Amino acid sequence: MFITEDIKYIGVNDHRVDLFEGQYTVPNGMSYNSYAIIDERIAIMDTVDAHFTHEWLDNIENTLGGRTPDYLVIQHMEPDHSANIANFMKLYKNTVIVSSSKAFVMMKNYFGTEYEDRRIIIEEGSTLSLGRHTLAFVAAPMVHWPEVMVTYDACDKVLFSADGFGKFGALDVDEPWEDEARRYFIGIVGKYGVQVQSLLKKAASLDISKICPLHGPILTEDLGHYINLYNIWSGYDIESEGIMIAYTSVYGNTRKAVESFADMLRSKGCPKVVIHDLARCDQAEAVADAFRYGKLVLATTTYNADIFPFMRDFVIHLVERGYKNRTIGIIENGSWAPLAAKIIKNMLANCKKLTFTDTTVTILSALNEKSVAQLEALADELCRDYIAKHSETANKNDLSALFNIGYGLYVVTSNDGKKDNGLIVNTVSQVTNTPNRIAVTINKANYSHHVIKQTGIMNLNMLSIDAPFSVFETFGFSSGRNTDKFANCDVLRSDNGLVFLPRYINSFMSLKVEQYLDLDTHGMFICSITESRVISAAPSMTYSYYQSDVKPKPKTEGKKGFVCKVCGYIYEGDVLPDDFSCPLCKHGAADFEPIG
C-alpha cells in the first residue's frame, strides 16, 4: 500500500484476536501498522505483534526490493508494536534503533539489552535526516505510555501518530471510523485527556496532510473532522446531544422502569435515548457512550448492601477515566433498604464537575404511583433544556432569564449575511425594567460590533459554569471575519434567525438594538428583548469562576514578564508596551499582570 511515493505500508491485519489487551472485544479484528520511508536512507516505523513476525518481515523484504533498512524508529513500546524489535535487529545487523531514553530502558526489560552500540536517543525537538525526508520527533508522554514519541515528516506532511487517532478493526474491513475510534480512545487513552490536549496543541503548528496511526486506517481527508473529535474526547466535552441510560436488573422490575422512563424522555423531546443493559452489553461501548452524551442515568438495585456488580464495574471504569462535565440522574431499586444512590454518589465523589439531578427515583421492588411520579419528575428535569431549545415547545417569554445577568461572561451571536458569528463579552447589564432594556458593550475592533451595527439584532447567550475553555478559545481568540466559529457545531436558531449555543448556556435572549452610544473604543447597544428562553438551572459563568476554575493556569515558572489574565498568554520582557494587544484573545495591556 502506497501512503505517498516514498512511504509504504508494511503492517498486518489480525483476525485471530478476540479480546484486544485481554478485555476489548474486536469482532472485526485489529491492524498493527508499520511503515517504511524509502529515501537515501530507509526508516522502518515500529514493528508489529509477535504473532505476525514472518508476515511483517516478508512485507519489509518485498517492499524494499533488496535494500536494507538504516533505521528502526520505535515510537511506542507496547508489545503489539514492539514485540519484533529483537527479531528485526538480529536479521538487520547494521540497522540503528531510534527511540526515546525511556523506550530503551523498556527494551532491556523485554529483550535484555538497550542496544547501546546501535542506537540514537531522541527527545523533543530531535530530527533525523533520511535525504529528502527529515523526521522531526515530538514527545507525547502518557499518550498513553511514558516513552511515547510521535514523528512528523515535513517532506510529505505526514504525522506518524503512534496510538493517537487509532481504532479497533482490521484494515480489510470497511466500517465507519467514529464508533470504534471512540471506543478505542475512551477505553485505552481516555484517562490521559490532558496529555492528549497537550499533544494536539503541538500538532496544531504542523502542516499535516495525512495521519498514520499504529492502529486503524490512514487518515487522508477531512482531517479537521478527526482532530475535532479527538479534541472533544480528550477535553471531556459533550460530543452528541442525548441521554444514556445504563442499568442492571435482577428480576426485570428495574428494566421495566427504564423502558417506561425512556419513553418519557422521548415524549419530552430528548433527541437520542441510548440504553445499555450492563449485564449483557459490551462494557467498553457503554463506557464510550457515557462520555459521548452529556447526561447519564444510572439505574440499579441494591445488592448485598452494595450495588449490583456490573453497575459497580461500570462506575469504576468511569472514575478511572476521569469522568466529568456531565449531568447524572439515579434510579435506585431496593425491596427494604435502597442504598444505590448513596453508594453511586460516594463512588463518583472525586470526579470533577458532575451535576446530580435534584430528583432521585426510589423504587421499592416494583413501580407504583409514587415512583412513576418520580420518573416523570426526573424526565422533566433532564429534558428541560431540550424543551427550551426547540421552537415548538419553548417558553419564549421567560423573563426569569434576566436573573442570569451579572458580572459574567457571555457569547453574543450575530450573522453578517453569509455566516454566523459569535464573540465573548463581559459587559452586559439590565438598564431598565419598564420596558426591559439590556445594554451590551462591544469593542469596536471586534467584527461583531460592525455586524450588529449593520443588522441591529443579536442573541445574548448566558454561559453556564460547565462551559469548557474551548468555548472561550473558539469565541474569544479569533475573528469572525476570517473564521467560521460554528463550523463544527449543530446550530439551533431563535425566531430572529440567529443561532444560539446548543450547550453550555443556561439561557439566551434575542435582542433588538433600540439605541447606540459611541464610547470611543467601544460601542454600547441598548436593546429590547424579542425572545427570552431559560435552558437550564445551571449557575451562570462569572468572571471570577472563569479565572479560578476554567482558564488553564499559565506556566510562568522561570519566566519574567507579564501574563494575560484572560487567556494566560505570557509576554516576556521587562516592560509591557501600553498599546500591546494579546495575540491570542486580543485584550489590551490593562488585562495583563506582572509575573511573580
- Structure confidence by residue, pLDDT tens digits, 247-268: 999 999 999 999 999 999 999 9
Average pLDDT over residues 68-80: 97
| CA 562 – CA 596 distance, rounded (Å) | 9
Which phi and psi angles does 166 have, rounded to 5°?
Answer: -85, 170
pLDDT in tens, 258-298: 999 999 999 999 999 999 999 999 999 999 999 999 999 99
pLDDT of residue 569: 83
Q: Kindly indicate the confidence band of residue 551, based on its pLDDT and cuts at 50, 70 and 90.
A: confident
Q: Kindly indicate the confidence band of residue 107, based on its pLDDT and cuts at 50, 70 and 90.
A: very high
Share of the chain above pLDDT 70, in %: 100
Q: C-alpha grid cell for residue 477?
A: 481568540
Lowest mean pLDDT among 73-87, 330-344, 369-383, 575-589: 575-589
pLDDT in tens, 350-396: 998 899 999 999 999 999 999 999 999 999 999 999 999 888 889 99
pLDDT in tens, 215-228: 999 999 899 899 99
Q: How many CA atoms lie within 13 A of 410 on its CB side?
A: 26
Q: Kindly indicate the confidence band of residue 129, based on its pLDDT and cuts at 50, 70 and 90.
A: very high
Place of cell 476554575: 549
- The residue among 286, 280, 210, 199 whose CA lies nearest residue 234 is 199
Share of the chain above pLDDT 90, in %: 76
- The residue among 149, 104, 106, 107 whose CA lies nearest residue 128 is 149
Q: Kindly indicate the confidence band of residue 573, based on its pLDDT and cuts at 50, 70 and 90.
A: confident
Asked if the model's pLDDT at residue 489 lies above 90, the reply is no
Q: C-alpha grid cell for residue 338?
A: 435502597
| CA 499 – CA 575 distance, rounded (Å) | 42
Average pLDDT over residues 512-537: 95
| CA 467 – CA 353 distance, rounded (Å) | 10
pLDDT of residue 247: 97
pLDDT in tens, 15-45: 999 999 999 999 999 999 999 999 999 999 9
pTM, rounded to two decimals = 0.82
Which phi and psi angles does 410 have, rounded to 5°?
Answer: -135, 160
